[in-house]
Amino acid sequence: MRTKDLELYIHIPFCVRKCHYCDFLSFPMDNSDMASYCRQLIKEIESWDIISQGYRITSIFIGGGTPSVLEGLWIERILEAVFSTFSCIDNLECSIEVNPGTVDENKLKVYKRAGINRISFGLQSTNSEELNILGRIHTYEDFLESFNLARKIGFENINIDLMSAIPTQTLQSYETTLERICALNPEHISAYSLIIEEGTDFYGNKAVLSQLPSEDEDVEMYTLTNDILGKFDYHRYELSNYTKKGYECRHNIGYWRRIPYLGVGLGASSLFEEKRFSNDVDFSQYLDNSQWQNKFKKAYTLTRKEQMEEFVFLGLRMIEGITKEGFVQKFGNQIEEIYEQPLKESIEEGLMEETKEGYRLTSKGYFLSNHVFVKFI
Ligand code: SF4
């Protein structure tokens, strides 16, 4: 039987406490509720047995929340359920998000034994005042300890999440963060700019908002990221993601290239057989549910037009852009037949350029990517 690629996202919605800028589906929870959740999550994973036949898993991402707040044993059991339910490729990428201060040597050893081969640390900044303002639970020293432990145990593929445009952050302090992190030589760095989201502690907090870097500084920080990381042999392969050669995050590339994925766990969303659907976001409803596949069966199938739009605006997040051949293969039309006007306009405005294989954003386009994306919708 010919197999098709499939990615798996596993959501662990628990955190020690809520960071002030966070609008992710995450919250503190006691041990017994976390255990009930994990039992239910395992049932959900196993319920995909039939439907996923003909697919093979190419990457797993355990995200959150803070998956590392769970006892290591749960991560092991969850992955056992995955491996006994799905067929997986040999060189599977298996990542877990970890917050500094929530792992010890024993937990990291369990992760390794369970099949995890990529760790993503949520650090954000090396500056203690900035970490404090963000409401992070850890210090830079906590991070160093966790990072060094992960290296000692043999993790050779580590990502570090960083953030720019943090209240009180200066170009100088951001530069220090970038240089300290590069000196540690992680394989991958994600560097996002803080966005103030509705419903977070930061939203509407005038004292905090008055300390945000200006828009010009925000732009300078974005440029600085590429400049400094470039000096340390990281290359940008997506708008906010940088890597050493060969360590691109395959799971995330799958999202941008529209590889089908199943999301399991509270609120997790999926793209499967051109349907997009999500789980309940209500914790008790998730625990009561046993009909996950109904979501798939009743889900809305994306129209061809929507699939094309996604192909373009997700693909353009990648620095290499989108290929003409990929578009033809998927939709049977030349991309120019469908998007003549937005392509022409974006090129004239200097936001996109044509390459030998297709189209991509220009450096100017990186700053105005949303302005480009809406032209295709
Ligand atoms: S650790 Fe991450 S998911 Fe948890 S509250 Fe902070 S930002 Fe949100």
**What residue segments make up the domains of the chain, in order of their start?**
4-256, 304-375
pLDDT recorded at residue 125:
98
Atom of ligand 1 nearest to the CA of 23: 8
Q: What is the pLDDT of residue 176?
A: 98
Atom in ligand 1 nearest the alpha carbon of residue 15: 4
Tell me what pLDDT residue 253 has.
Answer: 98
Joined together, the tokens standing for residue 107 give 């937990």
List, chain by chain if needed, residues with CB within 6 Å of any ligand 1 atom: 15, 18-19, 22, 24, 26, 64-66, 99, 122
Specify the pTM: 0.96
Which among 17, 20, 22 is the best mutation to test ligand 1's pocket, defined by most ligand atoms within 8 Å of the CB?
Answer: 22
**What is the per-residue burial (b if ≥16 Cβ within 10 Å, else e) of 278-307?**
ebbeebeebbebeebeebeeebeebeeeeb
Supply the CATH classification number for the domain 304-375. Answer: 1.10.10.920
CATH 3.30.2320.30 fits 4-256, yes or no: no
pLDDT at 1: 61
pLDDT value of residue 2: 66
- What's the gap in Å between 256 CA and the centre of ligand 1? 23
Residues of the chain below pLDDT 70: 1-2
pLDDT value of position 49: 87
Query: Tell me: the pLDDT tens digits for 114-151?
Result: 999 999 999 999 999 999 999 999 999 999 999 999 99
